[in-house]
Structure 1
Amino acid sequence: MKARTHGALALTELGLGGAQLGNLYRAISDETAAATVAAAWDAGIRYFDTAPHYGVGLAERRLGRALAERPRDDYVLSTKVGRLLVDDPAGAGRRDAEGFDVPASTRRVWDFSRDGVRRSVEESLTRLGLDRIDVAFLHDPEDHWEQALAEGLPALVELREEGVLGAVGAGMNFAAPLTELVREHDVDLVMCAGRHTLLEQADELLDAALAHGVGVVAAGVYNSGLLARPRPAADAHYNYAPAPSELLARVHALADACEAHGVSLPEAALAFPFRHPAVVSVVVGAAAPGQVADAVDRHRRTIPDDLWTDLALARPATEALEGP
């Protein structure tokens, strides 16, 4: 697996996202989680992303165990801050209400304060079983923007200077605040989820990142699953709601262009972000070893140059579809 170097970090072009390791939408066993990480490792993936939010700590614990026997200097790991995990005895007997199939006996509390961020990093280190984290992102700070910039980001920079963190940034579903961040603040990497894809582009963000020496990790490249199949289902969702008919028509036009070149829509969707030099890695989720193999096979696919021209013609200029 090729890697792209950014500063002192070398991120493999594909990274494994950890949401499914936290039982996103459905439970998987500890054994399946470990086998999924092992499959990624065996395929050459050396970048792993997680967050306390994913399964209220479950994803971090599983990932930490799965990587415990791997040489620490051989991989890059990112996690996130902004949600502290607290015990909630009142949730006993209920399931988590934020999309993860885990007990609701732990809940999330938003906190981008200096103390909250430092506590979050300390607790992540414990769950991961590590003494340092390669990358820490402010996680979905858009509704807490003032505190995140005034307290959260400086706290991350302090931890970077102390050697606890290797790099800092933010991960969001919104391109505009990320663009502000890379232009005006001391960040190393940003994670842009769902906003730079075949359907919608975040060129202003990526151009600004390139100009300011900030790397971009692309996530959500399948746009909530719309681009994850050769053809979208009639009841496909986009941004947590049924996809409108005009959007489905756009996806079918993209699929037509791909098929004319003997390429599947998911293969093109995975390859597209790498066309911009600011992108250092694309993170994909997986809930089983076979899903890792599928992503790696897609990544190895050679995409004809002419396809990108045809896709641009099949993708009419529209306003960005920002945010979930």
Structure 2
Amino acid sequence: MTAPTLSTRSYGRGGLSVGPIGYGVAALGNLYAPRPDDVWPECVPAAWQAGIRYFDTAPHYGLGLAEERLGEGLRELPRDEFVLSTKVGRVLEPNPDYRPGDTDIANLFAVPATLRRRFDFSRDGVLRSVEDSLTRLGLDRIDVLFVHDPDEHEREALDGAFPALEELRSQGVIRSYGAGMNQSAILTRFVERTDLDIVMCAGRYTLLDPSAEADLLPAARERGVSVAVAAVFNSGILATDRPASTATFDYGAAPADLVARTERIADVADAYGVTVPQLAVQFPLRHPAVSTVVLGADSPAQITRNAALADVAVPGDLWAELEDSGLISRKAADA
């Protein structure tokens, strides 16, 4: 079976291109729970078969386990046919307090806590992180490096990490660099104050929270910066056709008003034969600054399902009805 051909968009200024859907592999690092040995090895092949060619990981995910497993999945695939991003800012080092049986579940990953994370946004920290990631991935190069979650380390990132990434890009070691965060304010400042060319914004440009369109997206367009949008389901409320009774929004119980709003969105979409998850994925892709949507997945079946969410064309009349009723922002269409 031949993988489907997906439309691509440019990604950064280094000649990279990506499809509408990327695969974020935090689950390969045993996010929340261990992945069975007969499940995780099939995840990357399922993504490849579905036409996904962009893979995003980080040392943070499972204390390096996600990088190791992703590298194993990609090793036999043609290197020039996929884009790989990982992150810097957390250096992994031996955990002197480890005792047999200790796990990293406090940080959401079900792995032995033999290592610990140390925030390090210095030049040396970036270079060490890149070298360690290449070793874990077992690949010859990384295409994109993101400064990861520097919320409390903005100055260190500006003074240390970004100059180091600029050095790596100018030397041809990487193609592009940027930052990945779950807020838009600091990302916007990075866009304005550095020469990054890609940002990953999680949870702040969704059907229910389009706040990034007020600052990040205009700045990105002005500076020629590509945007990858992650967490488009806002941790769960938008992941199903109708919000479940246990629906979550940004990792907490979903407020009643957002549940009601999602129900109304579902009512409108249902009349057009469209689902809420399809809308959630395609909403950010309407904005000209957005290159791709990065989705996590727990299983091969979920990866296949996610990859298909961009395939169904959402009628313009549906977007217009949602906008006219005030259920979603107009600015994506008007940007």
Change (3 A) 1:219 1:50: same
CA contact (8 A) 2:203 2:250 kept: no
Q: Is 1:67 paired with 2:78?
A: no
Write the distance in 2 (CA, Å) between the matches of 1:313 and 1:12. 30
Q: Which moved more, 1:265-274 or 1:307-316?
A: 307-316
Query: Residues 277 and 167 of structure 1: is their aligned pair in 2 closer, same or farther, counting only changes over 3 Å?
Result: same
Contact 2:281 2:309 in 1 (8 A): yes
The question of 1:249 aligning with 2:254 is answered no
The aligned residue for residue 322 of structure 1 is: none
Question: CA separation in 2, counterparts of 1:78 and 1:317?
Answer: 30
CA drift of 1:232 comes to 1.1
Per-residue CA distance 1:121-179 (angstroms, 9 max, x = gap): 11001101123210000000111111011111111111112222110000000011111
Q: Does 1:220 align with 2:231?
A: yes
Equivalence for 1:284: 295
**Paired letter, 2:121:** F
Tell me the C-alpha RMSD between the 2 structures.
Answer: 1.5
1:230 Cα offset (Å): 1.0
Q: For residue 199 of structure 2, what is the aligned residue in structure 1?
A: 190
Candidates 95, 102, 122, aligned match of 1:94 = 102
Q: State the 1:317 CA deviation.
A: 8.0
| 1:50 corresponds to 2:61 | no
CA shift in 2, pair 1:27/1:151, >3 Å: same
Given the superposition, is the C-alpha separation of residues 56 and 315 from structure 1 closer, same or farther in structure 2, using an over 3 Å criterion?
farther
Separation (CA, whole Å) in 2 of partners of 1:54 and 1:104: 12
Normalised by the length of structure 2, the TM-score is: 0.91
Mapping 1:110-259, distance limit 5 Å: 110-201=119-210, 202-203=212-213, 204-259=215-270
Mean CA deviation greater in 224-233 or 236-245: 236-245
Inter-CA distance 188–31: structure 2 relative to 1 (3 Å threshold): farther
Question: Aligned-pair distance for 1:99?
Answer: 0.4
Superposition deviation, residue 299 in structure 1: 1.5
Separation of aligned partners in 1, 2:237 and 2:225 = 29
CA distance in 2, matches of 1:11, 1:186: 21
Amino acid aligned to 1:181: F
Relative to structure 2, which stretch is displaced further, 172-181 or 245-254?
A: 245-254
SS of residue in 2 equivalent to 1:84:
strand
Q: Distance in 1 between matches of 2:174 and 2:233?
A: 30
CA displacement 1:224-259 (0-9 Å, x = unmatched): 111001111222222222122122122212212211
Counterpart-to-counterpart distance in 2, 1:26 and 1:251: 28
Deviations 1:177-207 (CA, angstroms, capped at 9, x unpaired): 1111112211010001010011111213112
Q: Measure, in 2, the Cα distance between the counterparts of 1:177 and 1:89.
A: 33
Alignment of 1:270 onto 2:284: no
Runs of 4+ off more than 6 Å: none
SS in 2 for 1:192: strand
Whole-Å separation in 2 of the counterparts to 1:144 and 1:311: 39
Structure 1 counterpart of 2:39, from 12, 20, 32: 32
Structure 2: how far apart are the matches of 1:222 and 1:239? 9
Q: Secondary structure at the match of 1:91?
A: coil
| Structure-1 separation of matches of 2:10 and 2:190 | 21
Cα distance in 2 for residues equivalent to 1:40 and 1:193: 21
The number of residue pairs the alignment matches comes to: 318
What is the alpha-carbon distance in structure 2 between the residues aligned to residue 272 and residue 307 of structure 1? 11
* Residue identity in the other structure for 1:131: D
Displacement of 1:31 after TM fit?
Answer: 4.0
TM-score, length-normalised on structure 1?
0.94
In structure 2, what residue type is equivalent to 1:244? P
Q: Distance in 2 between matches of 1:30 and 1:49?
A: 21
Q: 2:146 and 2:189 mapped to 1: Cα distance?
A: 15
> Quick one: distance in 1 between partners of 2:171 and 2:64?
24
Counterpart amino acid of 1:184?
R
- Residue segments in structure 2 that go unaligned for 5+ positions in a row: 1-5, 330-335
